[in-house]
Structure 1
Amino acid sequence: MAQLSPARPVLVVAAPGDTQDSILAAVTAQELEAEVIVEPERLAGPWRTAATVIVADDLAEKVAARALPHREDVFLVGQRTDLLSAWSAPLAARVIPLPEGAAWLGAVLGEGSSRTRAPVVAVLGGSGGVGASTLAAALAQLSAARSPSGAALVDADPLGGGIDLLLGAERVQGWRWPRLNAAAGHLGDLRSYLPVVDGVSVVSMARGSELDLAREPLAAIVGSLRAWHSMVVLDPGRSGGLGARESLRLSTRQLVVVAATVRGVAAARELLASTDAERAELVVRRGRGSLAASLVGEALGRPVVAELPDEPGLVAAAERGEPPARGSRRRYRRAVTALVARLQAGVADG
């Protein structure tokens, strides 16, 4: 997604009306400035210098007729599907249909908000049972321990049974996905509505109710959480469903936990080939007689950002409802804490 600079306003090319109002509401919600142009002949300079360009469907044809130079971060927005389809290719623009794409629009613009600097980290398991959900929970816990704003943990796996169980939070009051699935657009601070454990705001699946997790609510929830927490950790699971794919799209970092075995590497290769984890980095889980992390990285063609020691006590801790950062030994916590620091330094550096 686009990385905006507060010194470079969002360029909005839209005539007065509902579409312009929706775009400007999204810009305002993200505390950004907009330069509005309703006459495409005035576009030449702002087109080159704006951080992001949002073109309303009703002016798309006129903008395309200007034959402006190709640039990144152009979005075509509106309600007319025929116009969106006709002019997305000539403008090299990604399409955001309204009103259903309001949350995505907010997420795109949210990259530029002065408050919205928290990393969004998606954690996938290269194979089943490798400890991806455990790492996701531990990352959130240890990130929260480093910041007064806490961290957030988002469960995007409808088949996972509810990540609140991993934190011992199944009895903690707060909203879960069935209640949050109607979320859309630009949300405020959700912290007072969610279960909180060890400074971690938890968005968990509930048990006993089917949920088809949609793209828009997930984008809206993550956009809100990112504005108020030090880190947002996503647990997409391995189902490959819509929620998992949207989690990867929303993430700023993608971690794949790989068992350092021949079979673990083979499974991770299949996962990487079948998902949209184009920016995946590896977290190698060691064990007795395991492969060297460097060999795992070489075999998968991805960088290794952390190595985790084998921690058999985590399974028993999870059964007791003891969160990973409390139920693990010091060497596991030390490895995850170092990974948290690396992820947060990556945001600060970028």
Structure 2
Amino acid sequence: MKSSLKILLILSIFLSLNWVSSADNAEASSLFPDVNYFQDEIYYLKDQGIINGYKDGKFGPNDPIKRLQAIQMILKELGVDTSNAPNPGFKDVHPGSYGYKEIAKAAELGIISGKPDGNFDPNGILTRGQMAVILVNAYDLKGTSSHKFKDVKESDGKYPFVQTLVSHSIAGGYPDNTYRPNLTMNRGQFAAFLARYLNDDLKTNNKNDLKDLPFNSIVNNDQSVVLIELYDENDELISQGSGFIVSNQLIATNFHVISGGVTAFAITNDGDVIELDGVVEYDEYYDIALLKPTEKIGYPALPLQSFNNVKKGEKVVAFGSPYGMINTITEGFSSKETFEDETGL
């Protein structure tokens, strides 16, 4: 017999992941005296044991990052066993050579595919466009952005990868609305992109930018809205409602939607079905719950800001999933009506 949908004791991960304290920053700074920008991102990776810097105590943030170094950092973060991977067949990478195991494992996992001439070029310098491809493939990221860079055309093979990174607020462009996909990356920049994926607190989105968004940008957020379905011990559907992806790949929904069931699933706008492991936190009075998927979702979090920033009469767009439908979109105006009960809440 199946057990009830479990309550997970993971309260500490709500909206934040193991943030680096000021003491940690001071320690990392003493190890990396040459780090003057992307400090939070670099210190975070150091705290997580993903980077160590050079033997002289410096990190070398301005040093170009090599293609092999990038996949080494990613595989270390993933905790992947690099043994027994099949030979990827790159002309310039041979069994026993430095980095062979990491390159072979990255190719097996679909993170890299090499260059058209059959080489991998492990000592080649990584570009911003290549970085987008590697990160999206490594972490199976999904999503797209309505923003268009003038130097990344839809016909460009790297276009969907760049758009996905932007949707996750991992990478932004330059003031002249370029992404510069062929620009070489340095170690500091790559550390920043990787850290932003791992810790939502480090991402580039600015909450002040959420106001006055064009309608197409708002509608594009339906990729972060899901349909929640709850089933009983007989696998009968007993409840259905809307939810949305929040920080650190958790899903928020109404408490009444997931109360009393045995198993629950989230269905994305693309039709992906995500099994939910349990409830991280809930508040029955406010009718809200946070759910943890069994695996990382890969879709971007819905950008949020305080209810206090909403003004009465402002135009709003509502996403909902009436029974039998998913992610319907309705325009309206905010009444900003609230109520208080006998407790004053």
TM-score range, shorter chain: under 0.3
The higher radius of gyration belongs to: 2
Decide which structure has greater helix share: 1
- TM-score normalized by structure 2? 0.24
